[in-house]
Amino acid sequence: HDDLVVLGIETSCDDTAAAIVRGNGEILSQVVSSQADLLARYGGVAPKMAEEAHSQVIDQVVQEALDKSGLTGRDLSAVAVTIGPGLSLCLRVGVQKARRVAGSFNLPIISVHHMEAHALVARLIEKELQFPFMALLISGGHNLLVLAHDLGQYTQLGTTIDDAIGEAFDKTAKWLGLDMRKSGGPAVEQIAQEGDAESVRFSIPMKQHKDCNFSFAGLKTQVRLAIASKNIEAKVPISCASSQDRSSRADIAASFQRVAVLHLEERCERAIEWALKIEPSIKHLVVSGGVASNQYVRARLDRVVKKYSLQLVCPPPKLCTDNGVMIAWTGIENFRVGRYDPPPPANDPEDFM
Protein backbone atom coordinates (compact mmCIF):
# COMPACT_ATOMS: atom_id res chain seq x y z
CA HIS A 1 0.00 0.00 0.00
CA ASP A 2 2.95 2.35 0.29
CA ASP A 3 3.05 2.78 -3.48
CA LEU A 4 -0.55 4.00 -3.68
CA VAL A 5 -0.79 7.45 -5.24
CA VAL A 6 -3.97 9.38 -4.44
CA LEU A 7 -5.24 12.71 -5.73
CA GLY A 8 -7.28 14.61 -3.11
CA ILE A 9 -9.79 17.34 -4.04
CA GLU A 10 -11.36 19.78 -1.56
CA THR A 11 -14.00 22.43 -2.38
CA SER A 12 -16.29 22.40 0.67
CA CYS A 13 -15.95 26.06 1.60
CA ASP A 14 -13.88 28.93 0.24
CA ASP A 15 -10.64 27.23 -0.75
CA THR A 16 -10.17 25.18 -3.90
CA ALA A 17 -7.48 22.65 -3.08
CA ALA A 18 -5.84 19.60 -4.61
CA ALA A 19 -2.89 17.46 -3.58
CA ILE A 20 -1.17 14.23 -4.47
CA VAL A 21 -0.01 11.99 -1.64
CA ARG A 22 1.70 8.61 -1.59
CA GLY A 23 0.63 5.71 0.62
CA ASN A 24 3.75 6.15 2.77
CA GLY A 25 2.67 9.73 3.59
CA GLU A 26 4.97 11.47 1.14
CA ILE A 27 3.34 14.69 -0.13
CA LEU A 28 4.11 14.89 -3.85
CA SER A 29 2.32 18.19 -4.42
CA GLN A 30 -0.22 20.53 -2.87
CA VAL A 31 -2.07 23.48 -4.34
CA VAL A 32 -4.56 25.82 -2.67
CA SER A 33 -6.41 28.60 -4.43
CA SER A 34 -8.04 30.87 -1.88
CA GLN A 35 -11.09 33.06 -2.23
CA ALA A 36 -9.84 35.32 0.56
CA ASP A 37 -9.97 38.37 -1.72
CA LEU A 38 -13.59 37.72 -2.58
CA LEU A 39 -14.38 37.20 1.11
CA ALA A 40 -12.74 40.44 2.10
CA ARG A 41 -14.63 42.36 -0.56
CA TYR A 42 -18.04 40.91 0.26
CA GLY A 43 -17.59 40.24 3.97
CA GLY A 44 -18.57 36.57 3.89
CA VAL A 45 -19.15 33.46 1.80
CA ALA A 46 -22.05 33.69 -0.66
CA PRO A 47 -22.69 30.13 -1.93
CA LYS A 48 -23.40 31.03 -5.55
CA MET A 49 -20.35 33.23 -5.80
CA ALA A 50 -18.17 30.65 -4.09
CA GLU A 51 -19.39 27.98 -6.49
CA GLU A 52 -18.44 30.11 -9.48
CA ALA A 53 -15.05 30.82 -8.02
CA HIS A 54 -14.43 27.07 -7.51
CA SER A 55 -15.61 26.30 -11.06
CA GLN A 56 -13.26 28.87 -12.49
CA VAL A 57 -10.12 27.45 -10.90
CA ILE A 58 -10.77 23.73 -10.29
CA ASP A 59 -9.24 22.48 -13.56
CA GLN A 60 -6.18 24.63 -13.12
CA VAL A 61 -5.70 23.62 -9.46
CA VAL A 62 -5.88 19.88 -10.28
CA GLN A 63 -3.58 20.26 -13.30
CA GLU A 64 -1.07 22.17 -11.22
CA ALA A 65 -1.12 19.44 -8.55
CA LEU A 66 -0.37 16.85 -11.25
CA ASP A 67 2.34 18.98 -12.86
CA LYS A 68 4.09 19.70 -9.57
CA SER A 69 4.11 16.01 -8.67
CA GLY A 70 5.68 15.14 -12.02
CA LEU A 71 2.90 12.59 -12.58
CA THR A 72 0.01 12.22 -14.99
CA GLY A 73 -3.50 10.91 -14.42
CA ARG A 74 -2.27 7.46 -15.51
CA ASP A 75 0.00 7.21 -12.46
CA LEU A 76 -2.82 7.68 -9.95
CA SER A 77 -4.32 4.81 -7.92
CA ALA A 78 -7.52 6.60 -6.86
CA VAL A 79 -9.22 9.97 -6.47
CA ALA A 80 -10.42 11.16 -3.05
CA VAL A 81 -12.91 13.99 -2.74
CA THR A 82 -14.73 15.83 0.06
CA ILE A 83 -18.44 15.01 -0.01
CA GLY A 84 -19.41 17.00 3.11
CA PRO A 85 -20.09 18.73 5.32
CA GLY A 86 -20.02 22.02 3.42
CA LEU A 87 -21.88 24.17 0.94
CA SER A 88 -23.57 21.74 -1.46
CA LEU A 89 -23.07 23.94 -4.51
CA CYS A 90 -19.37 24.08 -3.76
CA LEU A 91 -19.00 20.40 -2.90
CA ARG A 92 -20.53 19.52 -6.26
CA VAL A 93 -17.77 21.28 -8.15
CA GLY A 94 -15.18 19.03 -6.49
CA VAL A 95 -17.23 15.85 -6.84
CA GLN A 96 -17.86 16.44 -10.55
CA LYS A 97 -14.19 17.09 -11.13
CA ALA A 98 -13.25 13.92 -9.22
CA ARG A 99 -15.68 11.91 -11.37
CA ARG A 100 -14.23 13.33 -14.57
CA VAL A 101 -10.67 12.47 -13.56
CA ALA A 102 -11.69 9.02 -12.29
CA GLY A 103 -13.75 8.34 -15.42
CA SER A 104 -10.85 9.28 -17.65
CA PHE A 105 -8.31 7.01 -16.01
CA ASN A 106 -10.56 4.25 -14.67
CA LEU A 107 -9.86 5.06 -11.03
CA PRO A 108 -11.85 4.26 -7.90
CA ILE A 109 -13.35 7.19 -6.00
CA ILE A 110 -13.07 7.62 -2.24
CA SER A 111 -15.67 9.81 -0.52
CA VAL A 112 -14.17 11.80 2.31
CA HIS A 113 -15.79 13.51 5.30
CA HIS A 114 -14.18 16.92 5.70
CA MET A 115 -13.97 16.79 9.50
CA GLU A 116 -12.59 13.26 9.56
CA ALA A 117 -9.89 14.52 7.21
CA HIS A 118 -8.98 17.40 9.56
CA ALA A 119 -8.44 14.80 12.30
CA LEU A 120 -6.72 12.05 10.30
CA VAL A 121 -4.14 14.27 8.63
CA ALA A 122 -2.46 14.20 12.04
CA ARG A 123 -1.61 10.53 11.35
CA LEU A 124 0.28 11.55 8.25
CA ILE A 125 2.59 13.83 10.19
CA GLU A 126 2.82 11.79 13.41
CA LYS A 127 3.41 8.15 12.57
CA GLU A 128 3.14 7.17 16.26
CA LEU A 129 -0.44 8.35 16.41
CA GLN A 130 -2.53 5.21 16.86
CA PHE A 131 -6.23 4.80 17.59
CA PRO A 132 -7.83 5.50 19.98
CA PHE A 133 -7.10 9.20 20.29
CA MET A 134 -8.96 12.41 21.00
CA ALA A 135 -9.45 15.26 18.58
CA LEU A 136 -10.43 18.88 18.97
CA LEU A 137 -11.43 20.24 15.56
CA ILE A 138 -11.66 24.01 15.43
CA SER A 139 -12.39 25.87 12.25
CA GLY A 140 -14.61 28.57 10.78
CA GLY A 141 -17.69 26.40 10.49
CA HIS A 142 -17.12 23.59 12.96
CA ASN A 143 -16.19 23.05 16.55
CA LEU A 144 -15.99 19.42 17.59
CA LEU A 145 -14.54 17.28 20.33
CA VAL A 146 -14.38 13.65 19.28
CA LEU A 147 -13.10 10.39 20.57
CA ALA A 148 -11.66 8.44 17.62
CA HIS A 149 -11.94 4.74 18.45
CA ASP A 150 -10.91 3.50 15.03
CA LEU A 151 -11.09 4.50 11.38
CA GLY A 152 -14.68 5.59 10.75
CA GLN A 153 -15.67 5.07 14.39
CA TYR A 154 -16.04 8.28 16.31
CA THR A 155 -17.90 9.34 19.41
CA GLN A 156 -18.81 13.00 19.43
CA LEU A 157 -18.19 14.39 22.90
CA GLY A 158 -19.04 17.99 22.16
CA THR A 159 -20.01 20.45 19.47
CA THR A 160 -20.99 24.09 19.31
CA ILE A 161 -24.54 25.09 20.16
CA ASP A 162 -24.19 28.24 18.02
CA ASP A 163 -21.01 29.55 16.34
CA ALA A 164 -17.62 27.96 15.83
CA ILE A 165 -14.55 29.59 17.34
CA GLY A 166 -13.15 30.57 13.91
CA GLU A 167 -16.32 32.52 13.20
CA ALA A 168 -15.78 34.44 16.46
CA PHE A 169 -12.19 35.25 15.44
CA ASP A 170 -13.37 36.40 12.01
CA LYS A 171 -16.09 38.69 13.39
CA THR A 172 -13.77 40.10 16.04
CA ALA A 173 -11.25 40.93 13.31
CA LYS A 174 -13.91 42.57 11.20
CA TRP A 175 -15.36 44.65 14.03
CA LEU A 176 -11.89 45.74 15.13
CA GLY A 177 -11.15 46.96 11.60
CA LEU A 178 -8.21 44.58 11.22
CA ASP A 179 -6.63 43.73 7.90
CA MET A 180 -8.93 41.03 6.49
CA ARG A 181 -6.98 40.20 3.35
CA LYS A 182 -6.08 36.95 5.03
CA SER A 183 -8.83 35.38 7.16
CA GLY A 184 -9.59 37.13 10.43
CA GLY A 185 -7.95 34.65 12.79
CA PRO A 186 -4.32 35.42 12.00
CA ALA A 187 -5.03 39.17 12.19
CA VAL A 188 -6.48 38.82 15.70
CA GLU A 189 -3.59 36.60 16.79
CA GLN A 190 -1.09 39.16 15.57
CA ILE A 191 -2.59 42.29 17.15
CA ALA A 192 -3.30 40.37 20.38
CA GLN A 193 0.45 40.16 20.95
CA GLU A 194 0.47 43.93 21.60
CA GLY A 195 -2.46 43.86 23.98
CA ASP A 196 -3.15 43.19 27.65
CA ALA A 197 -5.18 39.97 27.80
CA GLU A 198 -6.46 40.77 31.32
CA SER A 199 -7.67 44.27 30.49
CA VAL A 200 -11.19 43.45 29.34
CA ARG A 201 -13.17 41.14 31.61
CA PHE A 202 -15.07 38.89 29.23
CA SER A 203 -16.88 36.03 30.92
CA ILE A 204 -16.09 32.43 29.99
CA PRO A 205 -18.96 30.84 28.00
CA MET A 206 -21.10 28.01 29.44
CA LYS A 207 -19.35 27.95 32.83
CA GLN A 208 -22.48 26.54 34.43
CA HIS A 209 -22.94 23.77 31.84
CA LYS A 210 -20.92 20.77 32.94
CA ASP A 211 -20.70 19.21 29.49
CA CYS A 212 -18.27 19.38 26.57
CA ASN A 213 -20.26 21.64 24.25
CA PHE A 214 -19.15 25.03 23.04
CA SER A 215 -20.78 28.40 22.55
CA PHE A 216 -19.23 31.48 21.01
CA ALA A 217 -22.24 33.65 20.16
CA GLY A 218 -22.34 35.26 23.63
CA LEU A 219 -18.63 36.02 23.54
CA LYS A 220 -19.08 37.64 20.14
CA THR A 221 -21.74 39.90 21.64
CA GLN A 222 -19.47 40.77 24.56
CA VAL A 223 -16.76 41.76 22.07
CA ARG A 224 -19.17 43.94 20.11
CA LEU A 225 -20.29 45.71 23.28
CA ALA A 226 -16.69 46.24 24.40
CA ILE A 227 -15.85 47.80 21.04
CA ALA A 228 -18.86 50.11 21.27
CA SER A 229 -17.99 51.20 24.81
CA LYS A 230 -14.42 52.15 23.86
CA ASN A 231 -15.44 54.43 20.99
CA ILE A 232 -13.25 52.56 18.57
CA GLU A 233 -13.52 53.86 15.03
CA ALA A 234 -13.59 50.43 13.40
CA LYS A 235 -14.21 52.06 10.03
CA VAL A 236 -10.72 53.47 10.30
CA PRO A 237 -8.38 50.64 9.31
CA ILE A 238 -6.02 49.68 12.10
CA SER A 239 -3.04 50.85 10.06
CA CYS A 240 -4.38 54.43 10.27
CA ALA A 241 -5.55 54.34 13.89
CA SER A 242 -4.11 56.57 16.62
CA SER A 243 -1.79 54.80 19.04
CA GLN A 244 -4.42 55.07 21.81
CA ASP A 245 -7.05 53.54 19.53
CA ARG A 246 -4.64 50.86 18.37
CA SER A 247 -3.85 49.79 21.90
CA SER A 248 -7.57 49.58 22.81
CA ARG A 249 -8.10 47.30 19.84
CA ALA A 250 -5.13 45.17 20.82
CA ASP A 251 -6.47 44.87 24.39
CA ILE A 252 -9.84 43.66 23.14
CA ALA A 253 -8.23 41.20 20.73
CA ALA A 254 -5.96 39.78 23.43
CA SER A 255 -8.76 39.54 25.99
CA PHE A 256 -11.08 37.88 23.49
CA GLN A 257 -8.43 35.36 22.48
CA ARG A 258 -7.64 34.53 26.10
CA VAL A 259 -11.25 33.83 27.02
CA ALA A 260 -12.10 31.99 23.79
CA VAL A 261 -9.16 29.69 24.41
CA LEU A 262 -9.98 29.30 28.13
CA HIS A 263 -13.32 27.94 26.94
CA LEU A 264 -11.50 25.41 24.73
CA GLU A 265 -9.19 24.44 27.60
CA GLU A 266 -12.03 23.83 30.01
CA ARG A 267 -13.98 21.69 27.54
CA CYS A 268 -10.88 19.69 26.62
CA GLU A 269 -10.08 18.93 30.25
CA ARG A 270 -13.56 17.59 30.88
CA ALA A 271 -13.53 15.60 27.64
CA ILE A 272 -10.13 14.06 28.40
CA GLU A 273 -11.21 12.99 31.89
CA TRP A 274 -14.33 11.43 30.44
CA ALA A 275 -12.57 9.76 27.50
CA LEU A 276 -9.82 8.25 29.65
CA LYS A 277 -12.48 6.37 31.58
CA ILE A 278 -13.71 4.65 28.40
CA GLU A 279 -10.43 4.37 26.53
CA PRO A 280 -7.60 4.41 29.09
CA SER A 281 -5.03 3.75 26.36
CA ILE A 282 -5.45 7.20 24.80
CA LYS A 283 -2.10 8.94 24.46
CA HIS A 284 -2.81 11.88 22.14
CA LEU A 285 -4.98 14.92 21.66
CA VAL A 286 -5.08 16.03 18.02
CA VAL A 287 -5.87 19.70 17.49
CA SER A 288 -6.65 20.58 13.90
CA GLY A 289 -8.73 22.90 11.72
CA GLY A 290 -7.85 26.49 10.80
CA VAL A 291 -7.81 27.84 14.37
CA ALA A 292 -5.24 25.21 15.37
CA SER A 293 -2.63 27.21 13.48
CA ASN A 294 -2.84 29.81 16.26
CA GLN A 295 0.31 29.64 18.42
CA TYR A 296 -1.46 30.79 21.59
CA VAL A 297 -4.08 28.04 21.14
CA ARG A 298 -1.31 25.48 20.75
CA ALA A 299 0.65 26.66 23.77
CA ARG A 300 -2.38 26.67 26.07
CA LEU A 301 -3.62 23.26 24.96
CA ASP A 302 -0.15 21.86 25.34
CA ARG A 303 -0.36 22.75 29.04
CA VAL A 304 -3.71 20.99 29.30
CA VAL A 305 -2.55 17.70 27.79
CA LYS A 306 0.62 17.63 29.91
CA LYS A 307 -1.57 17.54 33.03
CA TYR A 308 -2.86 14.18 31.81
CA SER A 309 0.50 12.99 30.46
CA LEU A 310 -0.87 13.08 26.93
CA GLN A 311 0.84 14.36 23.82
CA LEU A 312 -0.49 17.20 21.67
CA VAL A 313 -0.44 16.60 17.92
CA CYS A 314 -0.97 19.72 15.83
CA PRO A 315 -0.41 19.51 12.10
CA PRO A 316 1.64 22.37 10.61
CA PRO A 317 -0.52 25.43 9.79
CA LYS A 318 -0.73 24.59 6.07
CA LEU A 319 -2.31 21.24 6.96
CA CYS A 320 -4.59 22.73 9.65
CA THR A 321 -6.44 25.07 7.30
CA ASP A 322 -8.43 23.50 4.46
CA ASN A 323 -6.16 21.62 2.08
CA GLY A 324 -6.08 18.76 -0.40
CA VAL A 325 -3.45 16.74 1.46
CA MET A 326 -5.83 15.84 4.28
CA ILE A 327 -8.38 14.64 1.72
CA ALA A 328 -5.84 12.53 -0.18
CA TRP A 329 -4.51 11.08 3.09
CA THR A 330 -7.97 10.20 4.43
CA GLY A 331 -8.61 8.63 1.04
CA ILE A 332 -5.52 6.48 1.50
CA GLU A 333 -6.62 5.37 4.98
CA ASN A 334 -10.03 4.36 3.66
CA PHE A 335 -8.70 2.76 0.48
CA ARG A 336 -6.46 0.48 2.55
CA VAL A 337 -9.46 -1.02 4.29
CA GLY A 338 -11.49 -1.36 1.11
CA ARG A 339 -13.76 1.66 1.53
CA TYR A 340 -14.06 3.08 -1.97
CA ASP A 341 -16.41 3.17 -4.95
CA PRO A 342 -15.71 1.59 -8.33
CA PRO A 343 -14.67 3.86 -11.21
CA PRO A 344 -17.49 5.91 -12.77
CA PRO A 345 -18.37 5.31 -16.46
CA ALA A 346 -15.39 5.88 -18.70
CA ASN A 347 -14.80 9.09 -20.59
CA ASP A 348 -12.05 10.03 -22.95
CA PRO A 349 -8.72 10.46 -21.12
CA GLU A 350 -8.04 13.50 -23.30
CA ASP A 351 -10.94 15.50 -21.93
CA PHE A 352 -10.80 15.07 -18.19
CA MET A 353 -10.43 18.84 -17.89
Binding-site ranges for ligand KG4 (CB under 6 A): 13, 139-141, 166, 169-170, 183-186, 189, 289-291, 293-294, 321-322
Tell me whether residue 285 or residue 327 sits nearer to Zn ion (CB atom).
327
Tell me whether residue 163 or residue 245 sits nearer to ligand KG4 (CB atom).
163
HSE, side-chain direction, 13 A CA sphere, residue 41: 7
Binding-site ranges for Zn ion (CB under 5 A): 139, 322
Q: What is d(CA 110, CA 45) in angstroms, rounded to the nearest whole number?
A: 27
Tell me whether residue 29 or residue 293 sits nearer to Zn ion (CB atom).
293
Q: How far is the CB of 297 from ligand KG4 (least distance, A)?
A: 7
29 binds, among ligand KG4, Zn ion, none (CB under 5 to 8 A by kind): none
- Angle of CA points 138, 144, 149, to nearest 5°: 120
158 binds, among Zn ion, ligand KG4, none (CB under 5 to 8 A by kind): none
DSSP 289: S
Q: How far is the CB of 289 from Zn ion (least distance, A)?
A: 6
Tell me whether residue 16 or residue 139 sits nearer to ligand KG4 (CB atom).
139
Q: Cβ contacts of residue 9 below 8 Å, gap of 6+? A: 17, 18, 58, 62, 79, 80, 81, 82, 94, 97, 98, 324, 327
Q: How far is the CB of 43 from ligand KG4 (least distance, A)?
A: 13
Task: Determine contact, residues 30/10, Cβ cutoff 8 Å.
Answer: no
Backbone angles phi, psi at 157, to 5 degrees: -95, -30
Q: What is d(CA 226, CA 63) in angstroms, rounded to the nearest whole number?
A: 48
Q: How far is the CB of 176 from ligand KG4 (least distance, A)?
A: 13
Q: What is d(CA 156, CA 145) in angstroms, rounded to the nearest whole number?
A: 6
Tell me whether residue 117 or residue 180 sits nearer to Zn ion (CB atom).
117
166 binds, among Zn ion, ligand KG4, none (CB under 5 to 8 A by kind): ligand KG4
Q: How far is the CB of 336 from ligand KG4 (least distance, A)?
A: 25
